[in-house]
Amino acid sequence: MSAVMNTYARYPVTLIKGRGARVWDDAGQEYLDFISGIGVNSLGHAHPQLVQAICGQASEMLHCSNLFHIPQQVRLAERLAGLSGLDNAFFCNSGAEANEAAIKLTRKYWHDQESSRRTIISAYRSFHGRLLSTLTASGQDKVKVGFDPLPPGFVHVPLGDIEALRAAVNDETAGILLEPVQGEGGVHVAADSYLQAVRELCDETGILMMLDEVQTGIGRTGEMFGFEHTGIKPDILTLAKGLGGGVPIGAMLASTKVSQAFTPGSHGSTFGGNALSCSAALTVLDVIEKEGLLENVQTQSKRLLSGLNALKSNDADIKLVRGSGLLIGMEFDAEVAPLIAACRERGLLLLPAGPKVLRFMPPLNVSAAEIDEALAILSACLEETS
């Protein structure tokens, strides 16, 4: 057994170098990377501007703790507030921590109003992280086994069923936590009309609408945030993955009405929002803007979807192609692990979203030629494995 704890079923590959959408293993084999570190490498690998920002910041200051003012953190908070229409940001280091902060803020908000509302409603099949709070919020039993007792105050409903949600709401409900697209749970897109109805329900009752955009945020769906497709705005928004382009950072944003429930001592993080991670995130946002990456996501999404739908029309094992932007799932009748292995052998890295869904998450700056190359490899592998 390795000295590393056995928590991952790893592919038999050691990646040591990357440039753009390509990576190389320790034997020199090249791959097209349509995993992007599970949605983290938003600018691909070794983007020159991100490398320069990280090196430049490292040579000035990596970390000084939140005992001091951190100008990069203030700039990033202002930038994310401007982009999202929310007011204030709290920074941490991962998606699970961002959701933990969202859950704590929601409970504290109601506590301060002397209300007993504490329960968080989330969706079956959802994934919100591996902390005790966030695995309890997740709507998948497999992440909970063996970790009881789980914290109380979490309830689940089917995604997309507004009547079931209305029926689950009561005087104890504090917030509704949803992913605009369930990534880990199989690439299931929440309908715009559903998210709009959730917003209405929250407006009627005062319950907080919490969106987990850890996977969908920062351009992944072709807008900076997934909720922008719907015309509504959440009360609380969580981000991580693509925000730092590979440098660990998470963020939780909220309107001032809600965020003022946090005061010095309510919450914190030693590493959260340090100068290095905030400089990286500011650069990711700059590059998305400067290189027109939201438009690129929209264009390449159409190309990938039409290529995948063409493959589907020729293959009875493919049930559905669905997704948003460059978060796309292809559902099969059979398990996808053998197909993923075949694609890897031919130089294309893909990941599953559950046992029967193949997930495509190339970097936001993927080119048309790279999409075509991936489709050609997938097509050859489908023929080979069918």
Ligand X SMILES: Cc1ncc(COP(=O)(O)O)c(C=O)c1O
- Chain contacts with ligand X (rule: CB under 6 A): 94-96, 99, 127-129, 179, 183-184, 212, 214-215, 240
Exposed/middle/buried for residue 22 (C-beta within 10 Å: 0-12, 13-18, 19+): middle
Of 39 and 307, which CB lies nearer to ligand X in the complex structure? 39
CA distances from 180 to 89, 177, 260, 289, 314 (A): 20, 10, 26, 22, 30
To ligand X, the closest distance from the beta carbon of 97 in angstroms equals 7
Helix extents (H) in the chain: 36-39, 48-60, 71-84, 95-112, 132-137, 162-168, 192-205, 256-259, 275-290, 293-313, 337-345, 368-385
As a whole number of angstroms, the distance between CA 359 and CA 285 comes to 24
Which backbone phi and psi does 72 adopt, to 5 degrees? -65, -35
First to last CA, the chain: 35
To ligand X, the closest distance from the beta carbon of 250 in angstroms equals 7
To ligand X, the closest distance from the beta carbon of 40 in angstroms equals 8
Of 234 and 307, which CB lies nearer to ligand X in the complex structure? 234
To ligand X, the closest distance from the beta carbon of 211 in angstroms equals 10
Of 133 and 301, which CB lies nearer to ligand X in the complex structure? 133
As a whole number of angstroms, the distance between CA 356 and CA 235 comes to 34
As a whole number of angstroms, the distance between CA 63 and CA 245 comes to 18
To ligand X, the closest distance from the beta carbon of 317 in angstroms equals 26
Of 307 and 363, which CB lies nearer to ligand X in the complex structure? 363
Of 98 and 382, which CB lies nearer to ligand X in the complex structure? 98
Of 194 and 370, which CB lies nearer to ligand X in the complex structure? 194
To ligand X, the closest distance from the beta carbon of 99 in angstroms equals 6
Residue least distant from ligand X (Cβ): 95
To ligand X, the closest distance from the beta carbon of 120 in angstroms equals 14
As a whole number of angstroms, the distance between CA 333 and CA 46 comes to 37
As a whole number of angstroms, the distance between CA 152 and CA 107 comes to 12
To ligand X, the closest distance from the beta carbon of 213 in angstroms equals 7
Of 212 and 235, which CB lies nearer to ligand X in the complex structure? 212
Q: What angle do CA 10, 12, 15 make, to 5 degrees?
A: 90
Token duo for residue 258: 């809600």
As a whole number of angstroms, the distance between CA 134 and CA 234 comes to 19
Of 38 and 155, which CB lies nearer to ligand X in the complex structure? 38
Give the neighbor-by-neighbor strand order of the sheet with 173-178: 88-92, 250-254, 236-239, 208-212, 173-178, 119-123, 154-157
